[in-house]
Amino acid sequence: MSLFSYETVKSLLFKLDPETAHSIAGLGLRALPLCPPAWNCMIDRYFVDDPVLHQRLFGRTFRNPVGLAAGFDKNGDYVKGTPALGFGFTEIGTVTPRPQPGNPRPRLFRLVEERSVQNAMGFNNKGAYHMVKRLKRLRFFDYPVGINIGKNKTTPERETLNDYETLFKTFRDYSDYIVINISSPNTPGLRDLQNEAFIREVFRIGTGLTDKPILLKIAPDMSAEQALELCRVAVEAGAAGIIATNTTVDYSLTPNAQKFGGISGTLLTEKSRELFAAIGKEFHDKTLLISVGGIDSAEEAYRRIRMGASLVQVYSLLIYEGPKLIRDINRGLIRLLKADGFSNISEAVGAEWR
């Protein structure tokens, strides 16, 4: 085991409680761009940049399709560091209009045997104003960034749309795309907003305030029929894409689960894949799709791409595998694409249904 290998780093971080370890890892990412030799070394080692993987989406070039999912960088503090982990784009947030502390600790748990994570964070973040200050510093940083937005916990239900309106106005000039998060299980009543009336109204407001692409992120804990109907409503209302899926509250997946919060990682793989397959079959040629949930290999990422995903996202498995996972997924995708006779990843998107 090398002194500087991820296994060494992980062995140290896993001696700490998960939230403390996350904060330390974040500090390292924030410091990395301040040391160009280290940053360049990481880029050379982990960032895969091959024309086979290039896509033009949302008016931006994505040099590889593997992104860091929302939840890791809640405040936009680490964006400059994440390309060094191999990611082709980053989704920051979830951010709320006002700062909020989130739920009481402990609220983040490792399910080590299952290579999974359970979180009940509750949209802890420093608020929209802090994030805008961070994003202003990225003005000349050429890297795709999405922003995941959500309501404050203390906002009354009747004022929920006001929160999203505030966030659309705040970030319309500071992102490549915006994601409406109404699928986290950790804000009371949030998933209740996954209904036709709310989706139509929030997209009406959003598309009237910004020309940035607006996407909807959905939960895995619904039937395929329910998910397809929500996606249909969202696309009709102006959604530029769908992200599937958020974390699951299916605690029957493991006897080691807490009875609160959402589960992600390997335990979510099959559930997320099955729901995404239904969505991909119906919508791969109608809107842009991003798949997230238990993606742990090039083969799994390629399945999602062939099912209709233009992009995939990883978070929980990064904790267990480190940046080597991102590099190996991208390298493996190149191999799999060429083996199937594709000259570019865009040709493989939705190939399962053609």
Domain boundaries, the chain: 6-353
Residue 183 among the catalytic residues:
no
- 103 labelled as ligand-binding? no
For helices 160-171 and 128-136, give the axis angle rounded to 10 degrees: 10
pLDDT-derived band at 140 (thresholds 50, 70, 90) equals confident
- 259 labelled as ligand-binding? no
Please count the CA atoms within 13 angstroms of the CA of 324 that sit on its side-chain side. Answer: 7
pLDDT digits (tens, 9 = 90+) for 275-328: 999 999 999 999 999 999 999 999 999 999 999 999 999 999 999 999 999 999
Report the distance separating Cα 2 and Cα 332, nearest Å. Answer: 24
Of 116, 183, 184, 264, the catalytic one is: 184
The DSSP 8-state label assigned to residue 45 in this structure reads: H
Sign of the C-alpha dihedral computed for residues 192, 194, 199 and 205 taken in this order: positive
Mention every residue, 6+ apart, whose C-beta is less than 8 A from residue 27: none
Residue with the two structure tokens 């399962």: 352
Are 242 and 308 in contact, with CB atoms under 8 Å apart? no
- 203 labelled as ligand-binding? no
Sheet with 262-265, edge to edge strand ranges? 108-111, 116-119, 262-265
Are 166 and 155 in contact, with CB atoms under 8 Å apart? no
Are 236 and 261 in contact, with CB atoms under 8 Å apart? no
CATH for 6-353 (3.20.20.70, 3.40.50.720, 3.40.50.2300, 3.40.50.300): 3.20.20.70
- 6 labelled as ligand-binding? no
Residue 5 has a pLDDT of 85
Residue 1 has a pLDDT of 41
Are 268 and 114 in contact, with CB atoms under 8 Å apart? no
pLDDT digits (tens, 9 = 90+) for 238-255: 999 999 999 999 999 999
Residue 4 has a pLDDT of 61
- 120 labelled as ligand-binding? yes
Compute the mean pLDDT over every residue in the chain, rounded to the nearest whole number. Answer: 96
